[in-house]
């Protein structure tokens, strides 16, 4: 038997390996399709059972899956979750009605209203614009002004600061002793971002100490999350306190321990270099807090750090070994979701009150 000139030598061993790879790939594809099918069924099951956080999480997984192309099902899930107060779903729906120039459309109002009640501080500026201009609601200059103030304090929003300053030019002449008004005056009048952030941190401190009764303690955490300061012992000390005791966020001694260790290092460094008058950051820091408070904060951080280490040892770590089987149980659900952005809902008392008042009149 003669070999034809056009025949090609084939490595049968290599060919068999290729066939095996193709077979494995086909099996993986089939398993992937089955997993997507289970995910879709579980998503609808979660919706019917009222587990909207779980449903939203599963919809997000489907959105990033190339094997699932039914966008309408995902959008329907997001809308249902938003209607039932899932913050991330509300944000997703809200963003559809705010264009690139941040002009708010009327359809955004109900989502912004729910987000503000849930303590999502970035919604304050847009909801304030709605009340100020009558976008999707009746005009209400008082609500608009309060929301501009909340956005300025809690989110550090420069747009809110400018608008609030224009609405309250007399704030520059304030000479009273109210600690909140003194802090607001500094924030409104200052063009130095670090000085503003230190004053916002001071407001958080006053809230945690119970000296600003118009705000709930949870509100302090909203401020601390958005401060632009780095390597600042006071902010880390206050944040560690919130995380350790679950003030405005989930209790987490492991995270608290890390934050408080940083707080101790920062406070020791800042006190060591307290008299370094050549440092701009030192001058700004001293503008907000006295040295005595730094000393007290350092002692407090060390005490809280010891407590965090004790609590860490008592944690049940078995949840790390749990296996996701298609339906998230309550504990796994708590761990899986971003607890820093949604946990405990940052109810800011004054905002909550006047937004609730509005709904009660309808």
Mean pLDDT of the region 102-116: 90
For residue 202, the number of C-alpha atoms closer than 13 Å in the C-beta half-sphere is 23
Global pTM reads 0.74
For tokens 């820091």, the residue is: 285
Mean pLDDT value of segment 231-244: 89
| Residue (of 183, 164, 178, 144) closest to 354 by Cα position | 144
Under 8 Å between Cβ of 59 and 24: no
| 248, 217 contact by CB (below 8 A) | yes
State residue 278's pLDDT score.
62
Q: Any idea which of 59-68, 151-160, 202-211, 239-248 has the lowest mean pLDDT? A: 59-68
Structure tokens at 131: 């009340």
Q: What is the DSSP letter of 328?
A: -
For residues 256 and 235, give the distance between their C-alpha atoms in angstroms, rounded to a whole number: 13
pLDDT at residue number 218: 86
Instruction: Give 211's DSSP letter.
Output: -
Enter the tokens of residue 33. 């399709």
pLDDT attached to residue 315: 60
pLDDT at 109: 94
Phi and psi torsions of 292, nearest 5°: -60, -35
Judge contact between 347 and 67, C-beta under 8 A: no
DSSP string, 119-171: T-GGGHHHHHHHHHHTSSS---HHHHHHHHHHHHHHS--HHHHHHHHHH-GGG
**Does position 345 have pLDDT exceeding 60, yes or no?**
no
The confidence band for 182, taking pLDDT boundaries of 50, 70 and 90, is: confident
Mean pLDDT of 97-108: 83
Residues 280-339: tens digit of each pLDDT? 566 666 677 888 889 999 999 999 999 898 887 776 544 334 333 333 344 334 333 333
Task: Please report the pLDDT score of residue 67 as a whole number.
Answer: 61
Higher pLDDT, 194 or 146: 146
Rounded CA separation 81/229 (Å): 35
Average pLDDT of the residues of the chain: 79
Q: What does the angle CA 345 – CA 347 – CA 348 come to, to the nearest 5 degrees? A: 145
Kindly tell me if the per-residue pLDDT of 110 is higher than 70: yes
Give the whole-angstrom CA distance, residue 153 versus residue 227: 10
In this predicted model, what pLDDT tens digit does every residue of 261-286 receive, in sequence order?
Answer: 999 999 998 888 888 766 656 666 66
pLDDT in tens, 2-24: 445 555 555 666 666 776 666 76
């Amino acid at each position: 038997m003669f070999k034809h000139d056009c025949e090609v030598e084939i490595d049968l061993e290599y060919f068999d390996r290729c066939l095996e790879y193709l077979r494995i790939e086909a099996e993986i594809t089939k398993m992937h399709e089955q997993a997507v099918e289970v995910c879709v069924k579980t998503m609808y099951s979660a919706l019917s059972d009222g587990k909207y956080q779980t449903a939203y999480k599963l919809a997000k997984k489907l959105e990033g899956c190339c094997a699932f192309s039914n966008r309408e099902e995902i959008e329907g899930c997001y809308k249902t979750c938003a209607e039932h107060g899932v913050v991330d779903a509300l944000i997703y729906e809200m963003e559809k009605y705010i264009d690139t120039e941040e002009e708010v459309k009327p359809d955004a109002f109900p989502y912004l209203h729910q987000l503000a009640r849930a303590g999502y501080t970035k919604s304050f500026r847009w909801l304030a614009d709605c009340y100020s201009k009558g976008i999707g609601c009746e005009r209400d200059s008082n609500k608009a002004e309060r929301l501009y103030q909340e956005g300025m304090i809690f989110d550090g929003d420069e747009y809110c600061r400018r608008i609030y300053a224009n609405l309250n030019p007399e704030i520059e002449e304030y000479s009273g002793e109210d600690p909140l008004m003194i802090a607001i005056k500094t924030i409104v009048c200052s063009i130095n971002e670090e000085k503003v952030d230190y004053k916002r941190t001071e407001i958080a401190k006053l809230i945690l100490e119970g000296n600003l009764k118009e705000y709930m303690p949870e509100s302090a955490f909203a401020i601390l999350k958005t401060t632009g300061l780095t390597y600042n012992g006071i902010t880390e000390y206050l944040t560690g306190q919130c995380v350790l005791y679950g003030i405005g966020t989930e209790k987490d001694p492991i995270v608290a321990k890390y934050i408080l260790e940083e707080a101790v290092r920062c406070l020791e460094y800042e006190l060591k270099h307290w008299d370094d008058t050549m440092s701009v950051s030192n001058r700004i820091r001293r503008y907000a807090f006295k040295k005595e408070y730094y000393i007290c904060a350092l002692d407090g951080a060390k005490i809280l750090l010891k407590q965090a280490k004790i609590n860490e040892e008592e944690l049940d770590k078995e949840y790390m070994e749990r296996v996701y089987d298609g339906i998230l149980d309550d504990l796994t659900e708590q761990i899986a979701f971003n607890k820093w952005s949604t946990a405990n809902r940052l109810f800011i008392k004054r905002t909550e009150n006047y937004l609730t008042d509005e709904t009660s009149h309808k």
